[in-house]
């Protein structure tokens, strides 16, 4: 994908030497082969280039890098696990990459306060495991958890499958440590749930995709570890039925309802067809499915789940349902869900949307978007699935069978326009959890409140007057 943006001038040799001195020879890479993993990304959608990748080992080194870069107007791209989906972590025009992966210390675990302070480069899965070791839950969970980092999770305000009960990444951070563009370190680390001493600066940097500063550490919230987890796979006729089941579930399970995923028949078919070891948990076929999970501190989750499903069956909402009888069966249900994105690839070109609308509007959104997309491209196959409980649907569209993939992908923006129109009409968001990056940057001014855009620009100019922090992203 081409990204229009003024190219950054490469730093002169003597400046590269200065950067090198900050992190040490071993951690300043200029060799093309060494740099390659930092300038491309897994899906092969974005290809960047960079004269220099820096791997600082401390907040002080990050600070020194920013100070030097700011003085010499050298553009920086902060990077965590390089798993972002919108090109936010890619140096599209020769910027210097600052990889935070070596900042991987867990500075503090406090089980009485239920907090954990992690540096930016801690892998999400490592954070989850550390919490589990002390009998706590760090609930953030997403497909890339084996390689994405806490710093990236916060910079993109990651969502995932547990946001329904625990909130998005923003809500899991009590405090952050940020290096500003000029190298100043803003220490907002805090174990406090309540702190009303002035403006909320923390949330300005969370979700800013590295354009306002570099998140170097965060104090995260821990939760009680659930004792009982119960998972059901449900077949039903319509998204409207799924919405009714969601309401029944919330009424009976409240905060113990930790996941509620809506899956279209075609998304399930693709996963079964192309995923390895993916099986259909139900006997018959259904137009729609729900994968739902309850996590409870006590042993009541099974009773609650059965009560929900019984009510659903009694009201004619649920057509069929199975509760996982073992851990391996639960994992099998989730595998079907987790393989869903990858399973679209063998079906050819896929135009992706990560949208949200008010929960109540999801059924209407899917109906309207399906109609509009098929009208625009006859034979196009909408593959909606996602987090119904959050109103967040990954509304992906696979190419018509037998069509030319490149031709289809060439209509990416056309399809976007049709879908985003409906999203906006319903008071929704064109980026629910993946962010803006470069992928949606040019759409942003059309979909966002004009005054909000103006304020965002003012804030960017205020915090990064020389425009060195991840330039060309978001704005």
Residues 158 to 197 in contact with its own copies, rule: CB under 8 A? 159, 163, 165, 167-168, 170-171, 180, 184-188, 190-197
d(CA 463, CA 202): 14
Contact between 429 and its own copies (CB under 8 A)?
yes
Phi, psi angle pair for 279, to nearest 5° = -120, 155
Contact between 418 and its own copies (CB under 8 A)?
no
Binder of its own copies out of 139, 391, 471, 472 (CB under 8 A): 391
Contact between 9 and its own copies (CB under 8 A)?
no
| Beta carbon nearer to its own copies, 326 or 451 | 451
The two beta strands, 223-224 and 136-137, are antiparallel
Shortest distance (Å) from residue 5 CB to its own copies = 17
Binder of its own copies out of 59, 83, 157, 341 (CB under 8 A): 157
Best CA proximity match to 439, nearest among 469, 409, 474:
474
**Binding span for its own copies by CB under 8 A among 336-344, 364-372, 373-381, 441-449:** 441-449
Contact between 448 and its own copies (CB under 8 A)?
yes
Binder of its own copies out of 356, 398, 399, 470 (CB under 8 A): 356
| Beta carbon nearer to its own copies, 348 or 435 | 435
Phi, psi angle pair for 266, to nearest 5° = -65, -35
d(CA 306, CA 317): 14
Within a 13 Å sphere around the CA of 410, how many CA atoms are in the beta-carbon half?
5
d(CA 95, CA 130): 34
Task: Name, in order, each residue with C-beta under 8 angstroms of 383's C-beta and a sequence gap of 6 or more.
Answer: 264, 266, 267, 270, 344, 350, 396, 397, 398
Q: What is the DSSP letter of 359?
A: G
| Beta carbon nearer to its own copies, 55 or 473 | 473
| Beta carbon nearer to its own copies, 65 or 85 | 85
d(CA 350, CA 208): 27
| Beta carbon nearer to its own copies, 204 or 403 | 204
Binder of its own copies out of 358, 379, 405, 410 (CB under 8 A): 358
Contact set for its own copies, span 42-71 (CB under 8 A): none
Phi, psi angle pair for 23, to nearest 5° = -100, -15
| Beta carbon nearer to its own copies, 278 or 294 | 294
Instruction: Say if CB 183 and CB 67 are below 8 A apart.
Output: yes
Contact between 402 and its own copies (CB under 8 A)?
no
Binder of its own copies out of 54, 214, 218, 432 (CB under 8 A): 432
d(CA 73, CA 71): 6
Shortest distance (Å) from residue 203 CB to its own copies = 4
Best CA proximity match to 358, nearest among 434, 445, 422, 309:
422
Within a 13 Å sphere around the CA of 296, how many CA atoms are in the beta-carbon half?
16
Shortest distance (Å) from residue 359 CB to its own copies = 4
Contact set for its own copies, span 84-113 (CB under 8 A): 110-113
Strand partners, 354: 394, 431
Binder of its own copies out of 97, 131, 215, 357 (CB under 8 A): 357
- Rg for the chain, CA atoms, rounded: 23
d(CA 271, CA 135): 34
Binder of its own copies out of 220, 430, 438, 468 (CB under 8 A): 430
Shortest distance (Å) from residue 361 CB to its own copies = 7
d(CA 83, CA 60): 25
| Beta carbon nearer to its own copies, 13 or 462 | 462
Contact set for its own copies, span 203-262 (CB under 8 A): 203-204, 206-208, 212, 223-224, 226, 243, 247, 250-256
Binder of its own copies out of 82, 141, 156, 241 (CB under 8 A): 156
Instruction: Say if CB 428 and CB 361 are below 8 A apart.
Output: yes
Binder of its own copies out of 332, 376, 403, 459 (CB under 8 A): 459
| Beta carbon nearer to its own copies, 195 or 407 | 195
Shortest distance (Å) from residue 299 CB to its own copies = 10
| Beta carbon nearer to its own copies, 141 or 392 | 392
Instruction: Say if CB 366 and CB 393 are below 8 A apart.
Output: yes
Q: What angle in degrees, to the nearest 10, is found between the helix axes of 59-71 and 13-23?
A: 160
Measured between alpha carbons, how far apart are the two ends of the chain, in Å? Answer: 18
Binder of its own copies out of 265, 300, 338, 370 (CB under 8 A): 300
Size of the site for its own copies (CB under 8 A): 94
Contact between 310 and its own copies (CB under 8 A)?
no
The two beta strands, 214-221 and 106-110, are unpaired
């Amino acid at each position: 994908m081409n990204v229009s943006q003024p190219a950054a001038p490469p730093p002169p040799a003597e400046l590269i030497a200065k950067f090198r001195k900050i992190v040490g020879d071993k951690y300043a890479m200029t060799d093309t082969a060494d740099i390659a993993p930092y300038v491309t990304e897994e899906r092969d959608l974005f290809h960047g280039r960079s004269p220099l990748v820096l791997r600082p080992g401390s907040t002080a080194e990050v600070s020194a890098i920013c100070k030097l870069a700011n003085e010499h107007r050298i553009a920086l791209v902060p990077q965590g696990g390089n798993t972002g989906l919108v090109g936010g972590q890619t140096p599209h025009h020769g910027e210097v990459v600052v990889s935070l992966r070596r900042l991987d210390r867990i500075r503090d675990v406090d089980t009485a306060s239920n907090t954990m302070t992690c540096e930016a480069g801690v892998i999400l899965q490592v954070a989850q495991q550390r919490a589990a070791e002390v009998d706590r839950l760090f609930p953030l969970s997403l497909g890339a958890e084996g390689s994405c980092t806490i710093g990236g999770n916060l910079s993109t305000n990651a969502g995932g499958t547990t946001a329904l009960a625990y909130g998005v990444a923003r809500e899991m951070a009590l405090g952050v440590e940020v290096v500003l563009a000029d190298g100043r370190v803003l220490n907002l680390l805090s174990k406090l749930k309540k702190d009303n001493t002035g403006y909320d600066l923390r949330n300005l940097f969370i979700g800013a995709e590295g354009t306002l500063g570099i998140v170097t550490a965060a104090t995260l919230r821990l939760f009680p570890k659930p004792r009982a987890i119960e998972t059901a796979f449900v077949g039903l006729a319509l998204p409207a039925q799924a919405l009714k089941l969601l309401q029944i579930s919330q009424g009976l399970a409240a905060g113990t309802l930790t996941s509620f995923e809506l899956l279209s028949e075609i998304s399930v078919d693709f996963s079964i067809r192309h995923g390895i070891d993916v099986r259909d948990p139900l006997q018959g076929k259904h137009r729609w499915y729900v994968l739902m999970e309850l996590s409870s501190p006590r042993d009541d989750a099974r009773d609650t789940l059965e009560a929900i499903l019984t009510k659903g069956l009694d009201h004619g909402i649920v057509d069929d349902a199975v509760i996982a009888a073992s851990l391996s069966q639960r994992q099998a249900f989730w595998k079907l869900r987790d393989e869903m994105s990858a399973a679209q690839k063998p079906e050819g070109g896929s135009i992706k949307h990560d949208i949200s609308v008010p929960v109540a509007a999801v059924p209407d959104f899917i109906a309207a978007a399906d109609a509009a997309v098929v009208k625009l491209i006859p034979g196009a196959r909408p593959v909606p699935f996602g987090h119904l409980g959050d109103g967040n649907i990954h509304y992906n569209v696979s190419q018509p069978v037998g069509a030319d993939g490149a031709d289809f992908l060439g209509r990416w923006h056309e399809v976007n326009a049709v879908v985003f129109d409906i999203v906006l009409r319903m008071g929704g968001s064109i980026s629910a959890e993946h962010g803006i990056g470069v992928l949606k940057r040019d759409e942003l001014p059309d979909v966002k409140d004009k005054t909000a855009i103006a304020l965002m620009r003012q804030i960017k100019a205020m915090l990064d007057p020389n425009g060195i922090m991840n330039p060309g992203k978001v704005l």
